[in-house]
Amino acid sequence: MIARRILLVAGSVFALLVAPAVAEADESVLPQGESRAALSSAYFPDRVHEFVWRNWTVIEPAKLAKILGATEDDVRTIAESMGLPGQVTVQPEMRQRGYVTIIRRNWHLLPYGQLLELLDMTPERLGVMLREEDFLWIKLGRIKPACEPLRYQAPSEAAKKRAAEVRAVVEQNFGSTLQQAAEPRFDFVHQLADPIPNLTLPEPSPVKRLVYSYVAVYGDPLLNPELNPYPDGLLQRLAAVGINGVWLQGVLRDLAPGGEAFPEFGAEHEKRLATLRALVERAKKYGISVYLYINEPRAMPAAFFKNRPEMAGVVEAELTAMCTTHPAVRQWMGDALAYVFREVPDLGGIYAITASENLTSCASHGGWTSCEHCKQRSDAEIISEVVAVLEEGVHRGNPNASVLISDWGWKGHGDAPDIIERMPKSITLMSVSEWSLPIERGGIKSVVGEYSISAVGPGPRSQRHWKLAQDAGLKTGTEIQFNNTCELASLPYLPVMDLIAEHCHNLEVAADLNAMLIGWTMGGYPSPNFELAHRISSAPTQDVGGILDAIALERFGTEGGPHARKAWTLMSNAYREYPFHIGVVYTSPVQWGAANPLYPERTGYSATMWGIPYDDIDGWRGPYPPDIFAGQFDKMADGWRVGIDELKIAADIAPSDKQRAAQADLRLARAAYIHFKSVANQARFVHARNQLGDASLSPEDKTRLHGVQRSCLESELSLARELFTLSREDSRIGFEPSCQYFYLPLDLVEKVINCRWLLDHLPG
């Protein structure tokens, strides 16, 4: 199972990112993986034209010219020849907040040397980023495609002819739209920055409700306070929808001195703690506590253990675990936490994961028996010992701080009674609500093994663990997502309010919870979904339908409310058809929607986890046969479309003071439909293409399959145009905090070019 949530390992990656690059550095530190030829897009005149297109809105033309060895006029001429505007405004936030997007869209275009030049980065910095920041190397497939250096040459006559054809497609489908202003990417950061005057905040809730920032940049925001992950406007809006806790990553070696045992730890920790102190004080104004996400002790490079061989534990690739069987490791962890909680006394507490994620203790990835110090111990002993150290350190620094401990990854996501019985009595046991819930979609049985909104919990594992914890005298909490999940994370929230209400109601009936982690790195937007969950939690005896009705009326007005209410039910019912499986949510093109290109032939590349889907239908579909996989997305899209019709009525007749929010909800719903429908189209196109490789097919079968492809391409072309318009209107569309932008508006224009080219080359 690849169900490993992902977060930054190194504490100072972003500080490295923005530093100037050093020339002539050693590229051997960069991972390569299997040698494989890069993909190029036949619908562009050549790779230089493709490079200019892909980067026209993200990198300054002067920089593109420098990379190519061209003049800026040369680059503008290429852009204009394909219908791009000659003058382009590149948002400064793109380099600061969109560097993953830049890397991904150039992965098949540039060799490392030119990619480093494009990013103004040294090999060492990029190597750290690829290996450690959000597991980017895994998201890119663990392969750096072999790319020849790109050099400008005057376009050939054939290239000029093809560029003119591209321009004609652009003008025919988009007119002068590309010349017009759109909402800038990352504009939502500015929209959420300032508080709303006179906004009323709800009464404090005894249940802790934590989320992650929608605007955070991965890296080291405590060392770079200008990256402020929680501006006042976001804190206020979160408080208004019932959130009373926010979290951010805490890497102990960056937050506290290492003492005599680890003198290399703690560089610039005072600055980080000062920033953390300021954040805690700002959040308090809105009734919000700040929590640190702890995943410790972080593994270190082998060189770290040269003079500490007795502390070396399990080895994974270049990293070695700091073995927690050694008392010095445990002492440092406890002392570091105590130090942080003394220095920042108003910290709310910690949320800790002790298995899966980064390599931490020798039991964190299940391989403790390969450690000489741990092989005679049980995983339950090791993990519970780590938790005991965390709890003791936090409470030594602040006895009133909360210690939230996740069961994520324990026993390979199985039952863990022997770990729970060893837990310190003061901790709160957190468990993903819907985990291990049995489901059946399209006649295919499966079990939930990730966050899911389409499958309404709680599931059997969480209920067993909560019962064990309560019997042991522990408090309990749930990990749950109300805005979005890996099922579709490139939109800030989905209007599936009935599913959220049902899940919240079930939790009120099934469990007595003290805390809720409402979203991992995705799903932190201050939404009506949060408002709904808060109201149900605050009034558990009130009729759930009445709460839904009230929110619909508040959001869409007296006339629009009933239509919105009906739309939520229709879209919730449609979402229940989602063909959930870990492979589907991690590798299918559902995050990309209509932006994922289609290929005339097999690429040979496997879809990557939350990275690049390619054309890997066998990876996308998990246990679902191709027709059922596509059929479930079609079924979901068809039901969703009926809901959109109702939501459009609601939005159109909403009062003027509610129009902006109502139209935004409609826009997101329409974008979701496009994503669902596009996955069905792509699956059918690729499946038909693969079937056409069978030499024994009859002429009739070939004609039928070409007809399937043509129908899919025509639908994709239409969907791409619509998503282009929606994404230009709303900078949140296509964005997810850890992956940044899966796609940009210009990628939807490229998809139209892609589809038009394929249609022109289909037989018949």
pLDDT tens per residue, range 498-530: 999 999 999 999 989 999 999 888 999 999 999
Integer angstrom CA distances of residue 146 from 36, 109, 360 = 6, 9, 34
> Are residues 66 and 81 located together in one domain of the fold?
yes
Mean pLDDT of 590-618: 98
Residue 4 covered by a domain: no
Residue found by looking up tokens 């037989």 in the block: 763
In tens, the pLDDT along 57-94 reads: 999 999 999 999 999 999 999 999 999 999 999 999 99
Cα atoms found within 13 Å of the Cα of residue 448, Cβ hemisphere only? 27
pLDDT, residue 26, reads: 64
**Per-residue confidence at 447, pLDDT binned at 50, 70, 90?**
very high
> Are residues 550 and 577 located together in one domain of the fold?
no
Tell me if the bond preceding 540 is cis, omega within 30° of 0: no
> Are residues 303 and 438 located together in one domain of the fold?
yes
- The torsion angle over the Cα atoms of residues 322, 325, 331 and 334, rounded to 10 degrees, is 80
In tens, the pLDDT along 570-591 reads: 999 999 999 999 999 999 999 9
Does the pLDDT value for residue 620 go beyond 80? yes
Mean pLDDT of all residues in the chain? 95
Residue 387 covered by a domain: yes
pLDDT, residue 444, reads: 98
> Are residues 532 and 610 located together in one domain of the fold?
no
Show which of 555, 590, 609 is a domain's final residue: 555
Joined together, the tokens standing for residue 94 give 């793109």
Show which of 508, 525, 555 is a domain's final residue: 555
User: For residue 276, what is the enclosing H or E element?
Assistant: helix 269-284
> Are residues 20 and 165 located together in one domain of the fold?
yes
> Are residues 541 and 576 located together in one domain of the fold?
no
pLDDT, residue 312, reads: 98
> Are residues 727 and 616 located together in one domain of the fold?
yes
Residue 200 covered by a domain: no
> Are residues 705 and 587 located together in one domain of the fold?
yes
In tens, the pLDDT along 287-323 reads: 999 999 999 999 999 999 999 999 999 999 889 999 9
Residue 190 covered by a domain: no
- Return the closest-CA partner of residue 614 out of 604, 624, 626, 628: 604
pLDDT, residue 6, reads: 36
Residue 162 covered by a domain: yes
Joined together, the tokens standing for residue 425 give 């009595």
In tens, the pLDDT along 237-292 reads: 999 999 999 999 999 999 999 999 999 999 999 999 999 999 999 999 999 999 99
Does the pLDDT value for residue 560 go beyond 50? yes
Q: Which residue range forms the structural domain that includes residue 115?
A: 13-179
The b/e string for 359-380 (b: 16+ C-beta within 10 A; e otherwise) is bbbbbbbebbeebebbeebebb
Lowest mean pLDDT, pick from 332-336, 441-445, 540-544: 540-544
Q: What is the CATH number of the domain that holds 226?
A: 3.20.20.80
Show which of 534, 555, 576 is a domain's final residue: 555
Dist CA 124 CA 534 (whole Å): 45
Beta pairing class for 208-212 and 740-741? unpaired
Does the pLDDT value for residue 24 go beyond 50? no
Dist CA 551 CA 531 (whole Å): 8
Residue 587 makes CB contacts below 8 A (sequence gap 6+) with 607, 608, 609, 613, 616, 619, 620
pLDDT, residue 51, reads: 99
Dist CA 278 CA 276 (whole Å): 5
Residue 194 covered by a domain: no
Dist CA 485 CA 472 (whole Å): 31
CB-count exposure of residue 473 (10 Å: 0-12, 13-18, 19+) = exposed
Tell me if the bond preceding 297 is cis, omega within 30° of 0: yes
Instruction: State how many domains the chain has.
Output: 3
- Return the closest-CA partner of residue 648 out of 623, 631, 666: 666
Residue 607 makes CB contacts below 8 A (sequence gap 6+) with 587, 588, 613, 614, 616, 619, 620
> Are residues 545 and 646 located together in one domain of the fold?
no
In tens, the pLDDT along 393-405 reads: 999 999 999 999 9
Mean pLDDT of 426-441: 98
Lowest mean pLDDT, pick from 88-97, 547-556, 592-601: 88-97
In tens, the pLDDT along 458-469 reads: 999 999 999 999
> Are residues 596 and 627 located together in one domain of the fold?
yes
Residue 603 covered by a domain: yes
Residue found by looking up tokens 């060392």 in the block: 223
> Are residues 438 and 516 located together in one domain of the fold?
yes
Joined together, the tokens standing for residue 69 give 């060895």
Integer angstrom CA distances of residue 385 from 311, 331, 334, 405 = 16, 12, 11, 13
Lowest mean pLDDT, pick from 31-35, 240-244, 379-383, 740-744: 31-35
Dist CA 345 CA 712 (whole Å): 59
Residue 3 covered by a domain: no
> Are residues 417 and 285 located together in one domain of the fold?
yes
